[in-house]
């Protein structure tokens, strides 16, 4: 249906005069500032699947498929971003919202296969679904499938393009599907109020609000922070950097106990910082110990949801900010946390400047293509407010998917859950799995050491990495 709508739209604008096409483009919602560079990259790499987000969930219990489809249908009706395609008018992409349609989940039954093959076959099907390109102009920007492993064992797989979805959106989607499923299962109506804003309206507001004066002021700040020749982080890799970097990579999972996250929260509270700041400071310390470089530059994604109306909205809001910290071996833990706190707060005060504009401003004409500009390492901490929703007689568990791509040489992804700190290292082909596993162990040892520092005396952050992993 979405493809037909987009095709009809193309036919209608084909007969318009240049003046009428320009007027139509002005009336339609533009791409948001965050969407624009991603759309450009997709044009440069047709058929790319790098921005496909896979969201598989294992469902154990008596699943009512019809009610699940009804719940997804209502979520897709509520959130126009999920029904948006991106046609081009005179070289300019715009947002076109397609009509709401019932959501159907194609079923793949693998229950007849031997039980010991279910996990591998599930992963194969998830990969197959994830590594199929999306058509940005015609859509749809999502696809879904239901895998049946047994009468009361299913995996729901939703793959969405990053242009219309981000990590925060996953929490919104999970909560709404859960609330709707519970209501519809009882024969009740939707308990969710109508949304106060849609993504297209946000994109228009953002373009009008972020005027040149504001962005110029923020650009001056970032040029002051990052001007001049920036250091390249030289982690001890197992393989040399290729002349032109690739996105081939892998991932190693992290699961730290709740006792550790609770202790780190207490440490953070006592020192007047957030858990994000503490985890970041530990990561930067780890990088310092591995490289011996005191000038540590790390990128981090931020939600980009400054307006309250956007907190319960599905869409792509994320931006990237740069955190540059000068470390030295004489810093005490309290001093380090205070330093990181100031770096983070100042960066957040200047978060409106699109990262891509900063890259353009800092990037030399002839740059080294073997690594990403500005920073080579990313730290991401997911703290989106995911409210758990109890599903009748069912257990829902998000599944980990195999990561075969890496945007940066090293990315640490963490989230705080009821069971502790979860996440993993996503790493490029520069590293072997054993090296990353050791790094996971060193990071955990560092956090455990800090968590024991509950007295007023703070340990120095200068020391060598532990010789053995403590997984």
Q: Does a structural domain hold residue 206?
A: no
Say how many domains are in the chain: 2
**Torsion over CA of 270, 276, 277 and 280, rounded to 10 degrees?**
130
pLDDT at 364: 62
Same-domain pairing of 315 and 441: yes
Same-domain pairing of 333 and 436: yes
C-alpha distances in Å from residue 340, one per residue of 60, 64, 273, 384: 43, 48, 9, 21
Query: What burial class does residue 199 get, using C-beta atoms within 10 Å of its C-beta: 0-12 exposed, 13-18 middle, 19+ buried?
Result: buried
Q: What domain range is 421 assigned to? A: 211-451
- What does the block give as tokens for 139? 């859509």
Q: Does a structural domain hold residue 440?
A: yes
Same-domain pairing of 256 and 299: yes
Q: Does a structural domain hold residue 258?
A: yes
Of 280, 256, 262, give the one whose Cα is nearest residue 423. 256
Contact 387, 175 (CB under 8 A): yes
Partners of 192 in beta bridges: none
Q: Does a structural domain hold residue 159?
A: yes
Of 387, 394, 391, give the one whose Cα is nearest residue 183. 391
Of 42, 21, 20, 17, give the one whose Cα is nearest residue 137. 42
Eight-class DSSP state of 241: P
Report the predicted TM-score, pTM, of the whole model to 2 decimal places.
0.84
Q: Does a structural domain hold residue 407?
A: yes
Tokens 């833990």 found at:
333
> What distance in Å separates the CA atoms of residue 209 and residue 201, rounded to the nearest whole number?
12
Same-domain pairing of 194 and 234: no
Contact 99, 5 (CB under 8 A): yes
Same-domain pairing of 50 and 80: yes
In 10 A of CB 167, how many CB atoms? 17
Same-domain pairing of 272 and 306: yes
Of 200, 182, 206, give the one whose Cα is nearest residue 82. 200
Same-domain pairing of 131 and 276: no
Same-domain pairing of 398 and 431: yes
- What does the block give as tokens for 168? 């925060």
> What distance in Å separates the CA atoms of residue 112 and residue 266, rounded to the nearest whole number?
50
Q: Which of 148, 169, 200 is the last residue of a domain?
A: 200
> Which CATH number goes with the domain that contains 215?
3.30.559.30
Interhelix angle 433-451/275-291, nearest 10 degrees: 130
Same-domain pairing of 193 and 309: no
> What distance in Å separates the CA atoms of residue 150 and residue 165, rounded to the nearest whole number?
30
Contact 327, 337 (CB under 8 A): no
> What distance in Å separates the CA atoms of residue 342 and residue 348, rounded to the nearest whole number?
10
Partners of 416 in beta bridges: 421
> Which CATH number goes with the domain that contains 102?
3.30.559.10
Q: Does a structural domain hold residue 205?
A: no
Same-domain pairing of 196 and 218: no
Q: Does a structural domain hold residue 166?
A: yes
Same-domain pairing of 276 and 374: yes
User: Mind listing the pLDDT tens digit of every residue in the chain (471 residues)?
Assistant: 566 666 677 677 766 777 777 777 778 999 998 898 899 889 988 888 989 999 999 999 999 999 999 999 999 999 999 999 999 988 889 999 999 999 999 999 999 999 999 999 999 999 999 999 999 999 999 999 999 999 999 999 999 999 999 989 998 999 999 999 999 999 999 999 999 999 999 999 988 887 778 888 999 999 999 988 899 999 999 999 998 888 889 999 999 999 999 999 999 999 999 999 999 999 999 999 999 999 999 999 998 888 889 999 999 999 999 999 999 878 899 999 999 999 999 999 999 888 888 988 887 655 678 888 899 999 999 875 455 567 778 888 888 776 677 889 999 999 998 889 999 999 999 999 999 999 999 999 999 999 987 544 444 555 444 443 333
Same-domain pairing of 166 and 215: no
Contact 336, 231 (CB under 8 A): no
Q: Does a structural domain hold residue 231?
A: yes
Element (H, E) at 75: helix 65-78
């Amino acid at each position: 249906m979405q493809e037909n709508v987009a095709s009809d739209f193309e036919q209608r604008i084909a007969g318009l005069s240049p003046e009428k096409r320009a007027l139509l483009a002005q009336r339609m919602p533009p791409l948001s500032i965050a969407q624009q560079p991603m759309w450009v990259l997709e044009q440069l790499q047709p058929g790319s699947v790098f921005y496909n987000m896979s969201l598989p969930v294992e469902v154990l219990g008596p699943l009512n498929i019809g009610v699940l489809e009804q719940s997804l249908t209502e979520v897709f009706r509520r959130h126009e971003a999920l029904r948006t395609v991106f046609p081009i008018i005179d070289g300019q992409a715009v947002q076109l919202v397609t009509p709401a349609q019932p959501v159907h989940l194609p079923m793949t039954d693998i229950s007849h296969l031997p039980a010991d093959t279910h996990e591998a076959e599930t992963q194969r099907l998830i990969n197959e679904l994830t590594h199929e390109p999306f058509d940005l102009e015609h859509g749809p920007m999502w696809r879904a499938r239901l895998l049946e492993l047994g009468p009361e064992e299913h995996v729901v797989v939703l793959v969405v393009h990053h242009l219309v979805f981000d990590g925060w959106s996953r929490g919104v989607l999970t909560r709404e599907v859960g609330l709707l499923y519970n209501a519809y299962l009882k024969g009740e109506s939707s308990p969710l109020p109508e949304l106060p804003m849609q993504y297209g309206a946000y994109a228009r507001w953002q373009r009008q609000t972020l005027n040149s004066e504001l962005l110029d002021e923020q650009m001056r700040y970032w040029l002051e922070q990052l001007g001049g020749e920036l250091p390249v982080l030289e982690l001890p890799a197992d393989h040399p950097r290729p002349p032109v970097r690739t996105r081939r990579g892998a991932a190693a999972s992290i699961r730290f106990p709740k006792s550790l996250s609770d202790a780190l929260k207490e440490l953070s509270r006592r020192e007047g910082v957030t858990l994000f700041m503490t985890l970041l400071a530990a990561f930067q310390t780890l990088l310092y110990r591995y490289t011996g470089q005191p000038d540590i530059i790390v990128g981090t994604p931020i939600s980009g949801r400054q307006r309250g109306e956007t907190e319960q909205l599905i869409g792509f809001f994320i931006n990237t900010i740069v955190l540059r910290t000068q470390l030295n071996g004489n810093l005490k833990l309290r001093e380090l946390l205070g330093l990181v706190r100031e770096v983070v707060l100042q960066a957040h005060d200047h978060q409106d400047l699109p990262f891509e504009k900063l890259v353009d401003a800092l990037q030399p004409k002839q740059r080294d293509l073997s690594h990403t500009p500005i920073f080579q390492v990313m730290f991401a901490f997911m703290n989106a407010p995911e409210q758990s929703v109890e599903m009748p007689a069912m257990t829902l568990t998000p599944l980990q998917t195999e990561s075969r791509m890496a945007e940066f040489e090293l990315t640490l992804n963490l989230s705080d859950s009821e069971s502790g700190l979860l996440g993993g290292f996503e790493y490029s082909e520069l590293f072997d799995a054993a090296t990353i596993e050791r790094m996971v162990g060193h990071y955990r040892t560092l956090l455990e050491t800090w968590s024991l520092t509950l007295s007023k005396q703070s340990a120095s952050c200068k020391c060598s990495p532990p010789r053995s992993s403590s997984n």
